[in-house]
Structure 1
Amino acid sequence: MDALILARIQFAANISFHILFPTITIALGWVLLFFKLRFNATGDDKWMDAYRFWVKVFALSFALGVVSGITMSFQFGTNWPGFMERVGNIAGPLLAYEVLTAFFLEATFLGIMLFGFRRVPGWVHTGATFLVAFGTTMSAFWILVLNSWMHTPQGFELRDGVAHATDWWAIVFNPSMPYRLSHMLMASVLTVAFLLAGMSAWRWLRGDRAPSVMAVLRTGVVMAAVGAPTQLLLGDMHGLNTLEHQPAKVAAMEGNWETRGGVPLVLFAIPDEQARENRFEIAIPYGASLVLTHRFDGEVPGLNQFRGAHPPVAPVFYAFRVMVGTGMLMIGVGLLSAFWLWRRGTLPRLLMWGLVGMTFSGWVATLAGWYVTEIGRQPWLVHGVLTTAQAAGPVPAASIGATLAMYLILYVLLLAAYVGTIYRLAAKASGAADPLPKGLPA
C-alpha cells in the first residue's frame, strides 16, 4: 500500500477507537445527573447505588477518550500537515473552543463527581455532575461543528489557497451541522441505553436482585424505546440534507449507478465498481425514490454522474446497511422490552439475554455511521476545497505501516481491558453489596 492509503487507515483506526468513548460519556453524563436528581428527590438509595457504579464507567471512558484523542490530534501534524496549512485558520479556533469551553470543564469537575460524595455539600456534587454532562455535550458540539463544516463548508474565502473566515456564524451553523449534531447525540443516547440495559440484564441473570439493577435496566429500556424511533426520524432528515449537499455520497449509499426516477431500495447486493452495476441485487421497487424524495418517481442521483469524483462504493454501501440494520434491531428490541416491562413489570430470560447481546450494539451502529460519513466524503477532506491527497504529508509508507501496526495492537489490548474491566466491576457489584454511607448529603 502507498503512504496515502496507510495514512488514511491509520487515522481511521485512531478515530474508530477514540469515538467509542465519547459516544458513551456524552449521554452517560446526563444519565448520571438523572440518577443524582432522583436520589435527591426520593432519598432512595438505589439511585445513588446506580450513580456510584456508573460514574466509574464514566471515568474509565473519559480517560480512554482523552488519551486516544491526544494521539489523534498529533496526526494532524505528522500525516496531514496540508489540512492545517490550508484550513487551520478555521479548524484551529474551533478545536481551541472545544478545549476551553468543554474539556477544561469536564476535567475540572470530574474529580468532584468521583471523590466528592462526603467532601462537598450535596448541591455542589449535583452541580458538578451537571457541569460535566454539559461539558461533554459542548465538546460534541464543537467537534461536530468542525466536522460538519468540512462536509458543507461556508463562511470563508480562499486567499492564495488558504481558507480565511469571513462569517463565523455561517461556519458554526453550516447547512449540515444541526443534522449531524442531533444524529450523533442520539447515537450516544442509544449507545448508553443498550449499555445500561445490557449490563443490568447481565447482572440480573447472574442473580443480582439489587433494586438499583432493575432501576437502571428500566432506564436503559425507556431510553432505547424512545431514542431508537427518534433516531430513525433524525436519520431521514440527515439523509435529505446529504442528498442536497453531497449527492455522490447518497448514490454510493444506495448503490445507484444511473440518475433516474423510480429507483428501487437495494436491501442487498454486491456492488461491482468496475462493471458499474450491482450483482445479486435484492431490492424493493421505487423504495429509494420514496425514502429520499418522498415520491415514487423522485429522481435519485447515480454514481455514473460523478465518475472520478465519487467515494469508493462498497465500503459506504455495506456500512450504511450495517448502520440501518442495527438501528432497526434497536427499535424492535427497545419497543418489545418496554412493552413487556409495562405489562409484566419484568422481562423473560430470553429477552434479558437479547439485551445482553445488544450491550455494545451502539458502538457497531456508530462506527458504521461514521464510515458512511467519512468514507462517503472521499476524495475530499474539505468538500470542494481540499482533497485528501493534497493534505497528506511526506511520511514514508514504511514508517506509517510500522506505527499503524503498533496502534492496532495497542488498541485491541486497551479495548479488551476496557470491556473486561466493566464486566469485572459489574461482577464485583453483583457479588458483594456496597452500601451507601450513612449521612451522605442530598
Structure 2
Amino acid sequence: MDALMLSRIQFGFVISFHILFPAFTIGLASWLAFVEWRWLRTRDTVWRDLFFFWTKVFAVSFGMGVVSGIVMSFQFGTNWSVLSEQAGNILGPLLSYEVLTAFFLEATFLGVMLFGWNRVDEKMHFLATCMVALGTLISTFWIISANSWMQTPAGYKIVDGVFEPASWWAIVFNPSFPYRLAHMVLAAFITTCFVIGGVAAGYLRRGVHVDAARRMLKAAVIFAAITVPTQVFVGDLHGLNAREHQPIKVAAMEAHWQHKPKGEGVPLVLFAVPNERAERNDYEIAVPRLGSLILTHSLDGEIQPLTSVPPEERPPVKPVFYAFRLMVGLGVAMLLLVLASLWAWRRKRLYDLDSALGRWVLNGWRALTLSGFVAILAGWYVVEIGRQPYVIYGLLRTADAVSAVNAGSVLTSLIVFVVVYLTVFGAGIGYLVKLIRKGPHPHEPAPRPRQGDKTPARPLSVPDEPAEPGA
C-alpha cells in the first residue's frame, strides 16, 4: 500500500461515486423533456405530476454529481501532478470545453427548469428543459473524448517529454471515441430507463399511483426495447475496436493466456478463476470457438494472448475478467426482461397482478431497478483497470504519473473522503429513496403574479402600505 496504490484506490473510490450521478441525470434530463412534451401535447395532469416528481429527483442527483465531480478534479493536481504536467496541454482544454459549452448551458437553464414553472412561457420552460438535457449530452461528449484520448491517444506530439496537440480533430475524435461515446450514452439512458421501470413496478405491486405507474412502465418497456438491443450492437463494435487498439485489455477480459493451435479458435470462457502466477485458468467452463465468433466474427479467429507481452505489461486479470462478465450478465438479464415484458404486453398481462406472467415481469423490473448502475461501474472498471499499467495507453505508465506525496498523506485523505462521502451522499441517497417511496402527487401550480405584486425574491421590496401612520 504505497502512495501509488493508495492514490489509485482514492481516485477509483471518488469516481465510482461521481459517475453514478451524471449517468443517472443524463437519462433523467431527457426523460423530463419527454414528460413535459407529453404534458404540453395532451394536457393530462398525470404527465405534469410526473414532471414535478422526477424534477425533484433530478435536482438532488444533479447537485450530488456536481459536488463529487469538483472533488475528483482536485486530485489531478494533488495525486497525479505528473499527468497534469505532461498531458495538461491536451486534457486541460478538453475539460475546459466541457465547462464552457455544457456546464454553463446547464447552469443557465437549470434555474428556469426548476423554478420557472408558471413564471415563464410554457414554450420557454420546455426549451429550458431541452437545453438542460442537451447540456448533459454535450458534457458527456467532452468527458468521454478526454478519457478516450487516454485510452487511444492520437493527434499529439511529444516535445521535451510533454504532450503537445498536433491535430485537435484527431485528439477529440480519437479511434475509440465514437464507440465509447455511444456506449456510455446508451448506458446512461438504460440506467435511467430501468430505474423508472423499477419504480413503476414497485408502485403497481403496492397498488399506489397506478395511473402514473402504468405510463412510466409502458414508456420504460418501449425505450428499453430500443436501447438494450442497440447497446448489444454498439458493445460488439466497441469490442472490435478494443481488439484492434488495446488487444491485451481484451485478452484480460477473456482471460486468454496462450495461443491456440491454428484452426481451433478461441473458446468463450463462461467461468474460471484466472491464475496469474501460473498463467492459466483454474476451474474453467468454456464453450469452444464461441469466443472467436464473438470477438472476431469468425469461428477460427485468433486474438492476442496475455503471454504475448511480459507480465509487467499486463493489467490485473481477475478484476477485468469478473467485471466484464458482471456487465455482460446484467445486459443479458435486461434483454430477457425486455422480451418478457413485450410478450406480457402483447398478451395484455403487463399490469395484471392476477397472472403469473404479470407478477413475474413486475418482479423482474423491481429486481433490476439498480442494475444499470452496477453495469456502468463494472464497465468502467473494465475500461480503467484494463488499460493498466498505463494511464495514457502505451505512452505514460501509471507509476510514472503519480505525485511525489507520501503514503500517509494519501491514506489520511482517503479515510476522510470515505467518511465524508458515506455521510453526505448516504444522506442524499436516503432522501432520494424517501422521495421515490412517496411518489408523484397532484401538483397545483402557483398562480401567476398580478401586476404590481412584490416577488418573494426581492428582500428590499417597498411595502405596499406605509410602515408608520402618516408616513
TM-score (norm 1): 0.96
Which amino acid letter does the alignment assign opposite residue 315 of structure 2?
P
> Is residue 328 from structure 1 mapped to residue 365 from structure 2 by the alignment?
no
Distance 1:408 1:59, change over 3 A: same
**1:284 matched to which residue of 2?**
287
Query: What does residue 7 of structure 1 align with?
Result: 7
Once the two structures are superposed, the pairs formed by residues 183-194 of structure 1 within 5 Å of their partners are 183-194=183-194
Residue in 2 that maps onto 1:319: 323
Counterpart of 2:81, as a letter, is P
Pairing 1:381–2:391 present: yes
Which residue matches 1:143?
143
Taking the aligned partners of 1:343 and 1:229, their CA distance within structure 2 comes to: 22
Paired residues for 1:38-437 under 5 Å: 38-260=38-260, 262-307=265-310, 308-344=312-348, 345-347=350-352, 348-429=358-439, 433-437=441-445
Q: Please list every run of at least 4 consecutive aligned residues from structure 1 whose deviation after the TM superposition is greater than 6 angstroms.
A: none
Unaligned residue ranges in structure 2 (runs of 5+): 353-357, 449-471
1:271 positional shift: 0.2
Deviations 1:288-347 (A, max 9, x none): 111111111101110000122110111101110011001111111122123312431525
CA distance in 1, matches of 2:96, 2:146: 11
Shift in Å, 1:415: 4.1
| Letter aligned with residue 403 of structure 2 | G
Judge conservation of contact 1:254–1:317 (CA < 8 Å) in 2.
yes
Work out the CA distance in 2 between the residues paired with 1:230 and 1:340: 21
Pairwise CA distance, 1:350: 3.2
Work out the CA distance in 1 between the residues paired with 2:375 and 2:313: 27
The Cα offsets for residues 223-267 of structure 1, whole Å up to 9 and x where unpaired, read as 222211111111100000000000000000000001345110000
Name the SS for the 1:46 alignment partner.
Answer: helix
Bigger mean CA offset, 45-54 vs 216-225: 216-225
SS in 2 for 1:120: coil
The code of the aligned residue for 1:319 comes to A
Matched residues, percent identical? 51
Letter in 2 for 1:231: Q
Asked which structure has the greater CA Rg, the reply is: 2
* Contact 1:259–1:303, Cα closer than 8 Å, also in 2: no
Letter in 1 for 2:288: P
For residue 204 of structure 1, give the secondary structure of its aligned residue in structure 2.
helix
Which residue type is aligned with residue 91 of structure 2? A
Query: Structure 2: how far apart are the matches of 1:209 and 1:163?
Result: 56
CA contact (8 A) 2:157 2:163 kept: yes
**CA deviation string 1:55-90 (max 9, x = no partner):** 111111110110000000000000000111101000
Deviation at 1:439, TM superposition (A): 7.5
What secondary structure sits across from 1:354 in the alignment?
helix
Q: CA separation in 2, counterparts of 1:349 and 1:416? A: 31
8 Å contact kept, 2:95–2:142: yes
Instruction: Give the letter for the 1:108 counterpart.
Output: T
Matches of 2:129 and 2:14, distance apart in 1? 29
SS in 1 for 2:174: coil
SS at match of 1:84: helix
- Partner deviation per Cα, 1:101-142 (whole Å, 9 max, x = no partner): 001111121111111111101011000001000000000000
Structure 1 equivalent of residue 466 of structure 2: none
- Cα distance between partner residues in 1 of 2:138 and 2:249: 28
CA distance in structure 2 between the partners assigned to 1:145 and 1:217 by the alignment: 33
Is residue 190–residue 228 contact of structure 2 (8 Å, CA) maintained in 1? Answer: yes
Query: In the aligned structure 2, how far is the partner of 1:351 from the partner of 1:45?
Result: 27
Q: Which amino acid counterpart does residue 34 of structure 1 have in structure 2?
A: F
TM-score by length of 2: 0.90
Summarize deviations over 1:193-247 as a string: whole Å, max 9, x none.
1000111211222221342221112112222222111111111000000000000
Amino acid at match of 2:221: V
Contact 1:36–1:51 (CA under 8 A) maintained in structure 2 = yes
Using the TM superposition, give the Cα deviation of residue 418 of structure 1 relative to its aligned residue in structure 2, in angstroms: 3.3
Which SS does the other structure have where 2:109 is aligned? Answer: helix
Does structure 1 conserve the Cα–Cα contact (< 8 Å) formed by 2:64 and 2:425? no
| SS state at 2:257 partner | coil
Structure 1 distance, partners of 2:165, 2:196, is 42
Task: Give SS of 1:381's match.
Answer: strand
Q: Which amino acid aligns with 2:443?
A: P
Q: Secondary structure at the match of 2:283?
A: strand
Q: What is the letter of the counterpart of residue 409 of structure 1?
A: V
Comparing 77-86 with 41-50, greater Cα deviation is found at: 41-50
Aligned CA-pair RMSD: 1.5
Answer yes or no: is the 8 Å Cα contact 1:45–1:436 preserved in 2.
Answer: no
Q: Which residue identity lines up with residue 327 of structure 1 in the other structure?
A: G
Give the direction of change, closer, same or farther, for the CA distance of 1:415–1:337 in structure 2 (3 Å limit). farther
Mapped partners of 2:144, 2:99: distance in 1: 14
Report the AA paired with residue 377 of structure 1. Answer: R
For residue 105 of structure 2, give the secondary structure of its aligned residue in structure 1. helix
Equivalent residue pairs, number: 438
